[in-house]
Structure 1
């Protein structure tokens, strides 16, 4: 794989996807250790505690399924199921170890419990990360706008300020409707409501020709690419906007 291809792949999966890749491979390694344990370790307290809850092959199947899910969803925009499954399995593993300590089946099980519970908490924390947008490399200097589920602007880069005429301080906290003509605002509100209800954006990843509205009231043609991602606060949107021919930004 060339350096350019590797770079594009890394930009595609982002840091959340990279974390899922690590967790997925770890899950598969754990699954292998449970499916084919050596005879001596099989009698160790850790394995015995797990086997008391479910056969080792069942644990192996759960880890294998979780690992495969992580490796698939690392390439997808919606990765909540993979993060939830990995977190739940890690926390369950930790609880089994912890309980085995109190029952006396595994006197030092609390050590493993601390590791697995901490690891599960770490994965849960990663699941809250918003995916970063690298403006220069990923968008070529286009206007980049991040908005929350209600359509309120959360982030606004310098190119967006230049394109629409609103400074960052003025734009953040305002609704996205300030960037579109009044005739398009009702359709925009209906689209946001549908995404909030279904959790899916039918426009994600597509290049959409639209009409933008500058602060001075003038309209101009734009090309919009929008992506939706999930966080604890709900769905958020990243819009990449480029002016179309005849709507170039005036130089500073």
Structure 2
């Protein structure tokens, strides 16, 4: 298991590894919103979200961002995945701000968590990849 993990880490780098973690998280959120449990449906925050639009639509947004993170984890240019992941977490925080204003008492804590998570994504989006994983230099000059 460890050699495979090390090969994956060398292949995708730190940024790609973080995008893979985001992909797993976002896909779990997609599943949670698309097929919610009774406990999830009983939550006042979930009821508020379902009033805005159907939960599977929320889930589809999370799934799309998760898929983008998965794909771009293996690409040298991954800024779209980081941007989408950060914007989704900020958007989710804003939805919970609305829930809090609307009277969901525990929604303020979700706002704090989602904004902190979005900030972590934003910070890691600015971390440069190791030079050996960056784009190889373009050859200049004539034919060999």
TM-score, normalisation: structure 2: 0.87
Q: How does 1:202-241 map to 2 (within 5 A)?
A: 204-205=135-136, 208=139
Summarize deviations over 1:41-99 as a string: whole Å, max 9, x none.
31311101211222100011011111111011000011111111111111111111122
Shift in alpha-carbon separation, 1:8–1:46, aligned structure 2, 3 A: same
| Structure 2 counterpart of 1:216 | none
Q: Which has the higher contact order (CA 8 A, sep 6+)?
A: 2
| Structure 2 counterpart of 1:128 | 126
Shift in alpha-carbon separation, 1:27–1:210, aligned structure 2, 3 A: same
Give 1:208 deviation, angstroms: 2.8
RMSD (Å), alpha carbons:
2.5
Give 1:8 deviation, angstroms: 3.6
Q: Which has the higher strand share?
A: 1
Aligned residues: 143
| Structure 1 residues without counterparts, runs of 5 or longer | 139-145, 147-203, 212-222, 224-252
Shift in alpha-carbon separation, 1:207–1:103, aligned structure 2, 3 A: closer
| Structure 2 counterpart of 1:61 | 60
Q: How does 1:6-155 map to 2 (within 5 A)?
A: 6-104=5-103, 106-133=104-131
Summarize deviations over 1:3-35 as a string: whole Å, max 9, x none.
2x5434312211100110001100000111111
Distance 1:118 1:18 in 2: 19
Distance 2:2 2:85 in 1: 31
Give 1:207 deviation, angstroms: 6.7
TM-score, normalisation: structure 1: 0.52
